[in-house]
């Protein structure tokens, strides 16, 4: 009889972009796979892969007590009815809620993937909510047969400093969700007549949207005819730090700055770009920068947790201080004035992806985790 793995994440699109390929490989290795998350309209893409989909209403940043209690009850019913052999929680709220319910329903083997610490842990938001989250994490991590996946050393060290990690936990370091190097091949550059600088993100303030806008304004008078900023992604209305569509529409002018929203074919997006920018405040390991490395594009990002691991300074891009605008503009200017450097850094990005971000290594590590837990 096949062993059951249940993935619990916030939303369907995140599962598709970050965990779908791992789930597919788990099925090929004899596991029956289920995913519980909120259906935003893309559940069919999961179901057509042969994965069992369970619609779970879970607010990514909501704090309404009645809605949160309803989510907890829903998770309890799923765990109690399904009785999975392994539960894999991804992101902070599923980790806390799912780990708590797994204790109540006596699920023995759990994987908690810390893919960034989100809104509450950025910009020194250290109030009552953060203290409550830390207390809950200490409680739910205090158990046997729990594997914790970290994407960067900083998050792992923070969990240790806050005494969240238990001596019974097994720690595994995986650099992000990896990238398919066959799908995201090194791409040739488009014409250098206009240098296209892309920001491929969910549009939230913590990704550095305001800082990039200010940097673009610094550069506009001098380079209006030379460069183009392209914003790729939806306004994230469900996030407390979401950037309003009105702000993005006010910023774009259709030529120097364009906001083109969500794009399903990211390979084509990267193909039509020269430079990828992500001035984020904090990440786990940003998928967009890993993909940017794979397709061979230079990167400008911050020295923030998660971002800094994707750039070797001066080798495949530049790192600037978090919240900076002048330094961000200067880094962009260095690259838009030097096509040879852009190409050279792009080649080094591809080399970095091949050595550090290959999804095959990520999949193998996950399968080892599942198989080891399967023996418990």
23-60, pLDDT tens digit by residue? 999 999 999 999 999 999 999 999 999 999 999 998 76
* pLDDT for 194: 97
Question: Which tens digit of pLDDT belongs to each residue from 290-316?
Answer: 999 999 999 999 999 889 999 999 999
Residue 177 has pLDDT above 90, yes or no: no
pLDDT at 122: 55
User: How do residues 133-161 score in pLDDT, each as one tens digit?
Assistant: 889 999 999 999 999 999 888 889 989 99
Q: What is the pLDDT of residue 239?
A: 76
Q: Is the pLDDT of residue 128 over 80?
A: no
Q: In sequence order, which residues have a C-beta less than 8 Å from that of residue 289 and are 6 or more positions away? A: 276, 278, 299, 301, 307, 310, 311
Separation of alpha carbons 317 and 258, rounded Å: 23
State the pLDDT at residue 375: 73
Identify the pLDDT of residue 283: 87
Q: How confident is the model at residue 163 (pLDDT cuts 50, 70, 90)?
A: very high
275 pLDDT band, cuts 50/70/90, is: very high
Q: What is the pLDDT of residue 271?
A: 97
Task: For residue 132, name the pLDDT band (cuts at 50, 70, 90).
Answer: confident
**Among the listed residues 236, 201, 205, 279, the one whose alpha carbon sits nearest the alpha carbon of residue 61:** 236
Domains of the chain with bracketed CATH: 4-178+359-374 (3.40.50.2000), 195-356 (3.40.50.2000)
Hey, CA dihedral for 271, 277, 280, 285, is it positive or negative? Answer: positive
* Whole-number pLDDT of residue 288: 94
Q: What is the pTM of this model?
A: 0.86
Residue 373 is predicted with a pLDDT of 84
Closest CA to 30 of 4, 56, 58: 4
- At 192-248, the pLDDT tens digits run 999 999 999 989 999 999 999 999 999 999 999 999 999 999 887 777 788 999 999
Give 341-372 as a 3 state SS string: HHHHHHHHHHHHHHHHCEHHHHHHHHHHHHHH
């Amino acid at each position: 009889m096949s062993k059951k793995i249940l993935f619990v994440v916030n939303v369907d699109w995140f599962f598709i972009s970050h965990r779908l390929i791992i789930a597919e490989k788990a099925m090929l290795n004899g596991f029956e796979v289920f995913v519980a998350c909120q259906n935003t309209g893309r559940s069919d893409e999961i179901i057509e892969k042969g994965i069992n989909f369970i619609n779970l209403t879970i607010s990514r940043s909501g704090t309404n007590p009645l809605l949160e209690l309803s989510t907890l009850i829903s998770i309890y019913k799923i765990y109690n009815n399904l009785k999975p052999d392994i539960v894999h929680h991804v992101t902070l709220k599923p980790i806390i809620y799912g780990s708590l319910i797994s204790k109540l329903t006596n699920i023995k083997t759990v994987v908690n993937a810390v893919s960034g610490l989100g809104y509450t842990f950025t910009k020194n938001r250290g109030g009552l909510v953060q203290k409550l989250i830390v207390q809950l994490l200490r409680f739910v991590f205090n158990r046997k047969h729990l594997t914790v996946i970290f994407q960067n050393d900083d998050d792992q060290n923070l969990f240790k400093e806050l005494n969240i990690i238990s001596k019974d936990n097994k720690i595994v370091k995986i650099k992000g969700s990896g990238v398919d190097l066959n799908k995201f091949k090194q791409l040739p550059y488009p014409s250098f007549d206009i240098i296209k600088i892309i920001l491929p993100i969910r549009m939230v303030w913590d990704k550095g949207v305001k800082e990039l806008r200010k940097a673009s304004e610094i550069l506009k008078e001098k380079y209006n005819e030379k460069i183009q900023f392209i914003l790729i992604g939806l306004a994230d209305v469900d996030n407390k730090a979401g950037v309003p569509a009105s702000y993005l529409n006010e910023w774009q002018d259709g030529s120097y700055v364009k906001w083109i929203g969500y794009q399903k074919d990211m390979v084509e997006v990267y193909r039509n770009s020269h430079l990828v920018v992500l001035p984020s405040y904090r990440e786990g390991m940003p998928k967009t920068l890993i993909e940017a490395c794979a397709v061979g594009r230079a990167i400008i990002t911050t020295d923030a947790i998660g971002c800094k691991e994707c750039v070797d300074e001066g080798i495949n891009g530049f790192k600037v201080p978090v919240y900076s605008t002048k330094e961000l503009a200067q880094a962009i200017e260095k690259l838009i004035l030097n096509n040879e450097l852009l190409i050279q850094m792009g080649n080094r990005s591809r080399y970095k992806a091949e050595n550090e971000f290959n999804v095959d290594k990520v999949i193998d590590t996950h399968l080892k985790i599942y198989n080891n837990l399967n023996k418990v």
